[in-house]
Amino acid sequence: MPSKTTAKKKKDAPAPFLAVGDNVDAKCGKCKDVTKHIVLAKIGWKPTRVECCVCSATHEFKPPRPASRRRVAPAPELSPEEEWKFRMKAAKEAAKPYDRERAYAVGEVIAHQKFGDGAVISRASETVCEVVFETGTVKLIMATRATRRSR
């Protein structure tokens, strides 16, 4: 009777045996990276406390799995050129010469000496607007709303 020679391979193979004092890769919260650690304590095969070889911090063992990859997928991206065409078509007014002394709202179109006509796509900050030109997106300085509002 043939004996079963092919042992069933379990999918969740046990982690390599680690003894206290062994090196193990783990995530270090202080280094904010996966670094070499020394096993200080363990339960079964699982390390519980480890010491970081880089910063010497001792902490719970965290497997060196990369942090959950959160997909930050914005809406389907348009190339700058497509965005520019779309924005220029959507513009209600003719482009006005770029004037850093005034504030721009998203959707306004401006005529820039160097870049040509462009449309404001976002306000990066109080004093910076992002403008898409045919050649790409450019950040331009603008006046704050507050400046305009003060009378």
Interface with Zn ion by CB under 5 A: which residues? 28, 30-31, 52, 54-55
**Closest CB to Zn ion among residues 35, 87:** 35
Token representation of residue 114:
């160097």
Query: Minimum CB separation from Zn ion for residue 42, in Å?
Result: 19
**Closest CB to Zn ion among residues 29, 107:** 29
**Closest CB to Zn ion among residues 30, 139:** 30
Query: Minimum CB separation from Zn ion for residue 44, in Å?
Result: 25
Query: Minimum CB separation from Zn ion for residue 47, in Å?
Result: 15
| DSSP string of 42-75, one letter each residue | EETTEEEEEEETTT--EEE----PPPP------S
**Closest CB to Zn ion among residues 31, 141:** 31
Closest Cα to residue 132, out of 144, 149, 120? Answer: 120
Token representation of residue 90:
């959507």
Query: How are beta strands 96-97 and 109-112 bridged, if at all?
Result: parallel
Secondary structure class of 127 (helix, strand, coil): coil
Query: Minimum CB separation from Zn ion for residue 38, in Å?
Result: 11
Query: Minimum CB separation from Zn ion for residue 70, in Å?
Result: 23
Under 8 Å CB-to-CB from 103, ≥6 apart: which residues? 142, 143, 144, 145, 147, 148
Q: Residue 85: how many CB atoms within 10 A of its CB?
A: 15
**Closest CB to Zn ion among residues 54, 105:** 54
